[in-house]
Structure 1
Amino acid sequence: MSIQHPRDSAQHPDQPRPPQQPVGGSIIDAQGREIPITEDMIQRACRELENSCVQRRPR
């Protein structure tokens, strides 16, 4: 007996999603609205974090 896995992209995280497709979470804005988190939002946050870490490194 073999294990079979679905072939959709949800089971294959190495396959990129379209940039504006929600990735499974949300944030709540100041007005209480639920805003889906997109891949683009995550990438932007990672770049900002990386830049802030680079600026703080001692030389």
Structure 2
Amino acid sequence: MTQQQFNDLLQALRKEAMSNMIKASIRQQFPEPLASQYCQRFDDFKMVIDLLEYKAKQNGM
């Protein structure tokens, strides 16, 4: 594994851990079904951000 691959993996793990912490916080602060709805919207938003990051990497940014 190259250093760049290791760094990419580490960044992905950090993003996933942060995402899980945010969703846990949402679930603690809001009752159901709002918590599930907010978590789903957060996941949708995260997917858009991931797509933008992927496209930026493809374009060499």
Name the TM-score, length of structure 1 as normaliser: 0.38
Which structure would you say has the larger Rg? 1
Answer 1 or 2: higher relative contact order, Cα 8 Å, separation at least 6.
1
Structure with the bigger percentage of helix: 2
Name the TM-score, length of structure 2 as normaliser: 0.37
Structure with the bigger percentage of strand: 1
